[in-house]
Amino acid sequence: QQTLTCPRLNNQRAYFRKKFNYHNFCIYDLNSCKANCFLWDETMAMKGSNEINSCLLKWIELNKSDGFKDLVIFADNCAGQNKNIYVILNCLRLLHLGDFDSIKIEFMVAGHSYMPCDRAFGSIETKIRKQSTINNPDEYATLIQTATAGGINVVKMAQEDFFDVKALKSLITLRRPKKFLFTEGRTFTLVKTKPWHYHIKNNKGSSEYVDLEKARKGPPAKTKNKVKRHEPTAPLLTSDPLVRAYSNEIKIDESKLEHLLQLREFLHRPGKEWLDRLVVSQRTAVAVTEQADSEETPVLDNDNAQDEDLLFYVDVTPPDST
């Protein structure tokens, strides 16, 4: 969803002040027909591929007791968050761990897609518009939870829930599709029988397998008339656990903090208490600069990045692994 700003006040002074950013990422489970919103603020994490992958891992952790082994993901084409090599590596790692037999990612056609996540976002925005004031992020969480008749599952992310998935890139050899650009791919299929490959297919029906296995040093072994290729390496994507993406609270802009303090007098007691805690925690915060998540796209501005949606459907027939 577009970045939620806090506090939300109905006076002229607040209109011209910088606000605190609150992020909402939605995963809609097509089996249970339930929306799951993952919430965090700008002092916990940014809004890039690491965060999206971490929310995916959190959703799997919360639902792994269902015992599904095949996963289908529908997502939009936002390259900085969804459509990049880091999402592919995160899914490959899940295959290496043995959590899934197959994972299929379907990227919707740009301009021709409307998903249940969008319906949930519409209900949330309608609920927010009817609220005259919102004093702190917790009030956003309450509004989101009650935005639809059936309710929305709200998961408040902690900073330790965000992992550095980008570090997996050092364990592979990055190879691009030969027939068309990575960004032109619409369907990505990964199966455990090909632990280092992903199958990519575009809208025109052209497809190919891409091998990401890290190249070994030295030439392949030779016999009399044949070249013996190296045996596949062990699934190194699981050799080390994922490390936390952030070790300290993220420092927000000084001018933004000053603007928030100027609005303190308009906040109710819960809002003032939240702002006071924010000021104290910012004394030990560390500045973080966001980097590009895709080598084929420029850096996306954190506040103006495209909305991201993920839908999940489980217990499907595994794709052909041949």
Long-range pairs of 224-229 with CB within 8 A, sequence gap ≥ 24: none
Q: DSSP letter at 219?
A: P
Per-residue pLDDT at 61: 94
First-residue to last-residue Cα distance in the chain: 38
Per-residue pLDDT at 224: 56
Per-residue pLDDT at 305: 37
pTM: 0.84
Question: Count of CB atoms within 10 A of residue 161's CB?
Answer: 20
- With vertex at residue 87, the alpha carbon angle to CA 176 and CA 186, rounded to the nearest 5 degrees, is 60
Per-residue pLDDT at 64: 85
- Picking from 18, 131, 30, 24, the residue whose alpha carbon sits closest to that of residue 71 is 30
Question: Count of CB atoms within 10 A of residue 304's CB?
Answer: 8
Per-residue pLDDT at 112: 66
pLDDT in tens, 289-319: 765 454 443 333 333 334 444 555 444 444 4
pLDDT in tens, 119-156: 889 999 999 999 989 999 999 999 999 998 888 999 99
The Cα 73–Cα 104 span in angstroms is 6
Strands 102-107 and 70-75: parallel
- Picking from 39, 12, 316, the residue whose alpha carbon sits closest to that of residue 154 is 39
pLDDT exceeds cutoff 50 at 22? yes
Per-residue pLDDT at 316: 42
